[in-house]
C-alpha cells in the first residue's frame, strides 16, 4: 500500500517539474487513468507477494514495480505530450524504470540501516529486483504497444 501512495507522491511533482523545464502546457489530472493503473499494479503485486513472502513473492513485488513504473512513464509522456520513436521511448522507459528501481533499493538500504528490517533476502536480492523491474516493464510496455497498435488498426 505504501508503494501505491509513493507512486502518486513522486509522479505528480516530477511531471510538474519536467513540464516546467520543458516549457510544456499540461494538466496533471487529464491522464489520471495511468496513475490509477500504476496504483492498482502496485497493490496487486503487493497482494501476490504475500502468497510467497520469500524470493518468488519478492520477485512478483518488484515485477509489479516495473509494471507500475511503466504506467507512470506513459502518464508522464501523455501528460507532457512527448513523442519519440518507439526505440527512443523504449530506452527512456528503461532509464525511467532503472531510476525508480535504484531509488527503491536506496530506500531499502536506508530503512535497513535505521533498523526496519532486513529487507534483502540474500546477496543477490538487489540484482534480482532490477531484473524483476525490467521484466515487468518490458511485459507491460509490450502489452500497451500491442493494444495501441490494435486500436489504431481498428480506427483505419
Give the pLDDT of residue 19: 97
C-alpha cell at 35: 496513475
Between 115 and 117, the more confident residue is 115
Query: Containing domain of residue 79, as a range?
Result: 2-155
Element (H or E) spanning 61, and its range? helix 55-80
C-alpha cell at 7: 507512486
**Rounded Cα gap, residues 7 and 66, in angstroms:** 12
pLDDT digits 0-9 by tens, 1-46: 677 788 889 999 999 999 999 999 999 999 999 999 999 999 998 8
Query: Residue 32: is it exposed, middle or buried by C-beta count within 10 angstroms (0-12/13-18/19+)?
Result: middle
Give the pLDDT of residue 50: 86
Question: Based on the structure, what is the number of domains in the chain?
Answer: 1
Residue with cell 538487489: 126
pTM of the model: 0.90
Give the pLDDT of residue 119: 78
Q: Are 80 and 22 in contact (CB under 8 A)?
A: yes
pLDDT digits 0-9 by tens, 54-107: 778 888 989 999 999 999 999 999 999 999 999 999 999 999 999 999 998 998
**Sequence-ordered alpha helix ranges (H) in 23-124:** 32-51, 55-80, 86-113
Amino acid at each position: 500500500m505504501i508503494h501505491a501512495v509513493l507512486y502518486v507522491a513522486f509522479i505528480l511533482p516530477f511531471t510538474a517539474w519536467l513540464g516546467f523545464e520543458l516549457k510544456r502546457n499540461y494538466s496533471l489530472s487529464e491522464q489520471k487513468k495511468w496513475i490509477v493503473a500504476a496504483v492498482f499494479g502496485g497493490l496487486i503485486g503487493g497482494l501476490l507477494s504475500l502468497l510467497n513472502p520469500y524470493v518468488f513473492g519478492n520477485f512478483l513485488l518488484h515485477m509489479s514495480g516495473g509494471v507500475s513504473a511503466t504506467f507512470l512513464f506513459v502518464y508522464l509522456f501523455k501528460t507532457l505530450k512527448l513523442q519519440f520513436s518507439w526505440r527512443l521511448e523504449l530506452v527512456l522507459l528503461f532509464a525511467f524504470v532503472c531510476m525508480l528501481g535504484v531509488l527503491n533499493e536506496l530506500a531499502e538500504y536506508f530503512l535497513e540501516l535505521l533498523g526496519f528490517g532486513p529487507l534483502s533476502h540474500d546477496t543477490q536480492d538487489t540484482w534480482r529486483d532490477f531484473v524483476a523491474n525490467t521484466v515487468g516493464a518490458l511485459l507491460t510496455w509490450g502489452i500497451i504497444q500491442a493494444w495501441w497498435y490494435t486500436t489504431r488498426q481498428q480506427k483505419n
